[in-house]
Amino acid sequence: MSDDILIKNERLAVAVSPLGAETRSLTSKDGREWLWDGDPAYWTGRAPILFPIVGKAPDNRVTIEGMAFPMQQHGFARKNVFALEDSSSSSCRFRLDPTDETRLAYPFEFSLSITHALSDATLTVTAEVENRDDRPMPFGFGFHPAFRWPMPGLTRGHVHHIALANRAAPAMIRLRDGLLDLTPLASPFSGGLLALDHDYFEEDAMIFPEGAGDRLSLSAEDGPSLHFRFENLPNLALWTKPGAPYICVEPWHGMAAAHGKGPAIEDRPFTVTLPAGKSARFGWSVTIDG
């Protein structure tokens, strides 16, 4: 496998791996690293791409047009090597096309392109999924970036907040045995604000199917802030392993299979179904302030 691709500008430097087209590092000009480092003592991921499903499937299998296929949690894109399509000093684009192995799990002709681009203090990551098949193609897509918590230079006791730009209090749902329990729970947000606490993650991820909006901030009290924007990603999850020094801010279009709904990929909540020959775009960006 080829080495990481490094892109940079006057404010930021980013490393992207061909394996999964995964963001591996996000560093500001003063040397601070904002992205989680993948310490295997906690979690080896850093910013995996989730495709063609988000979350788990019952017994790690999905059905497509009535036929069963093996499908591991979060799909196979994160485990495959992408081809480098284009790169410049401040951007790069990787592409994944079907292989004999992917067709055994997902029998569609597709193209998945991931672009990383820098502008001033902002990193933008964009995905384009194209249906190159002759039939409708169902899938889920998501981003799973992990950021240091506490932020660089701060201590564990420093209070960190998630603030929704729409100031909403979206209902939350949880996972049960890895699958969605669709019972809505009271929102942990008040006026769009949530003070992060490791106790929240004793029951796995906090999932907000709708209502979190397309902008939020992760900030440290009297410290720096990260400002996020999402494109075509209506679902939000927050996750860490309890006690681990990172927080995942995960925008999705699609979620895990729900209890009682079966293994059909098109029955998963918020599944995208692309007509033949069409494409869909998804994206997130983060701006470092501080």
Tell me the per-residue pLDDT of 237-257, one tens digit each, with 9 for 90 and over: 999 998 899 999 999 999 999
- The H or E element containing residue 6 is strand 5-8
CB distance 24 to 15 below 8 Å: yes
Looking at every residue in the chain, the average pLDDT score rounds to 96
- In this prediction, residue 222 carries a pLDDT of 84
Give the whole-angstrom CA distance, residue 16 versus residue 66: 37
Cis before 234? omega within 30:
no
Q: What is the pLDDT of residues 189-207, one digit of tens each?
A: 999 999 999 999 999 999 9
pTM for the model stands at: 0.97
- As given in the structure block, the two tokens for residue 82 are 């992408």
Q: What is the pLDDT of residues 25-45, one digit of tens each?
A: 999 999 999 999 999 999 999
- In this prediction, residue 1 carries a pLDDT of 58
pLDDT-derived band at 155 (thresholds 50, 70, 90) equals confident
221-257 burial by CB neighbour count: b if 16+ within 10 A, else e?
eeebbbbbbbeebbbbbbbbeeebebbbbbbbbbbbb
21 C-beta neighbours (distance < 10 Å), count: 30
Query: How big is the chain by its Cα radius of gyration, in Å?
Result: 18
| Phi, psi (degrees; rounded to nearest 5) at 2 | -70, 160
CB distance 145 to 121 below 8 Å: no
Average pLDDT for 2-25: 96
Q: What is the pLDDT of residues 60-82, one digit of tens each?
A: 999 999 999 999 999 999 999 99
**Strand ranges for 97-145 from DSSP E:** 110-119, 122-131, 137-139, 141-143
Pairing of strands 246-253, 146-148: antiparallel
